[in-house]
Amino acid sequence: MSIVQTSTISVGPLPPRAGRQLRLKLALFVASLIFSVAGFVAFDYFYSAAILGGAVSGGPHGFCFVRDPQRSFAFQPNCSCIRPWLGNSYAFNTNSLGFRDERIRQVPLTSSQPRILVLGDSAPEGMTSWQDSFIGRIAANFPQYEFLNSSVEGYSPSNYLNTARMLINQGIQFDEAIVFIDISDAQDEAAFFHDVGSSGAVMTASQKSAKANWYSNLRLWINNQLLLTNDVFDFFEKGLVRFGWYHLELGHGGNEFDLERSAWTYRKVSDVDPYETGYAPLGLEGGIRREKEKMDLLWQELKQRNIPISVVVYPWPAQVAHDTADSRQVRIWRDWCEGKCKRFVTLFPAFFAIKDQCPRTQPGCWYLSHFIFGDTHYNSAGDAVVANVIGNALLDSPASKRPAPISSQDADSQSRNGSSDPSGVRP
């Protein structure tokens, strides 16, 4: 039996000189790190100021917005500008009606083509170039139709109705109306718009309350002031979202995946807090009821003129993350369309199918691939999906040209001739 003896080496405290050198190296490292970060931020600040200063900015609403007595706000007719949106910008044009269009143009009272009126808010307006927006894509794919895109950021059924009435009063003829009902319309009708008198004119809420915390305020400042630093934050945030972390606060009013404006389809929201943290004064159910009332009036006005109506519903990121394809939004407007609509189109199944295609290791890939990062709007790929679904609906049920309306003079002439045939020919 052999015994192996080991000797232990005791390590005592570093000599004073070695300890000072270690502390000095650590201090130099921290100082160089702070200096590097400060230098990067300083460079980023002046670089971003030069880039942003050279860009045309129209403020919080962009250019081309004007006050409107019936709709509270609208687009200026025959306007052209560069519209900023979340760090990007795109060419923006309106026609003689004040509707977004491919170019400035005069819209005649009538058209030889079937004319489709598009009613909606920011999604069908398109927060991107006309060619990339889904209405622009549909118009390009269906040149046999003329599309009047009256959609405006912030509109809801009250202004869908007011816009259609404006066209009717001006004698602008259209053959069909497609209404894109937005998730946010419930809150807009409950808390943002209110009627002024009996004409249907609306005004907006005088106050606005938004969710904010130190991080969202910091992110908003970085987004607006430091382009390069913002890219660094985006890189890490995109990684978290890709792995299914559905929390993204960039200073736009809360978590993009759980905003109060969109959460009502799958969880309780406040009926007492003001816009846009809550649904006061009408409350959620009051807002939905007002949506239906305005849509009823729109349907009745169109039915009197034999103009068919269609409804399209589409999800926000919150619905894809937390809701189902048979969302309450889908059920409400599917039921409303019974006996009223030429078409009811839901985009929910298409986007839930995209979500199902994400690998298990990247459950949030659907948002990065089909939505503008840090936003609730679709990107180019998302717009292409919407355009494809709407295009298929138009192929299944094409739009047709309505007979020209009979003037009162022609009607009197037909009555004197004893003919009820619009052609004036006796049977």
Give the start-to-end residue ranges of the domains of the chain: 65-209+281-358+376-396
Tell me the pTM: 0.85
pLDDT, position 419? 43
Measure the CA–CA gap between 291 and 256, rounded to whole angstroms.
24
Q: In what order do the strands lie in the sheet with 100-101?
A: 80-85, 88-94, 100-101, 146-149, 115-119, 176-181, 309-313, 341-346
Short-list 175, 178, 202, CA closest to 189: 202
Quick check: 348 and 385 in contact, CB under 8 A?
no
Quick check: 86 and 79 in contact, CB under 8 A?
no
Give residues with Cβ within 8 angstroms of 120, minimum separation 6: 151, 155, 160, 179, 180, 181, 182
Phi-psi sector, 200: left (phi>0), alpha (psi -120 to 50), beta: left
**Beta-carbon-side half-sphere exposure of residue 340 (alpha carbons within 13 Å):** 22
Looking at residue 224, its amino acid is N
Phi-psi sector, 283: left (phi>0), alpha (psi -120 to 50), beta: left
Residue-wise pLDDT for 168-211, tens only, equals 999 999 999 999 999 999 999 999 999 998 889 999 988 777 77
Q: Rounded to 5, what percent of the chain is helix, strand, coil?
A: 45, 15, 45
Mean pLDDT by runs of 10 across the 427 residues of the chain is 50 67 81 80 75 53 84 96 84 97 97 97 96 97 98 97 97 98 98 93 85 84 86 92 94 90 97 95 98 98 98 98 98 98 98 97 97 95 98 97 65 49 35
Q: What DSSP element (H or E) covers 185? A: helix 185-187
Short-list 313, 397, 325, 333, CA closest to 355: 325
pLDDT, position 36? 81
Neighbours of 231 (CB within 10 A): 12
Q: Where are the alpha helices (DSSP H) in 263-397?
A: 283-304, 317-322, 328-337, 348-356, 365-370, 380-396
Instruction: State the pairing for strand pair 115-119/146-149.
Output: parallel
pLDDT, position 175? 98
Measure the CA–CA gap between 335 and 300, rounded to whole angstroms.
17
Architecture of domain 65-209+281-358+376-396: 3-Layer(aba) Sandwich (3.40)
pLDDT, position 212? 78
Looking at residue 74, its amino acid is A
Crossing angle (nearest 10°) for helices 134-141 and 380-396: 40
Token pair, residue 277, equals 């943290």
pLDDT, position 39? 79
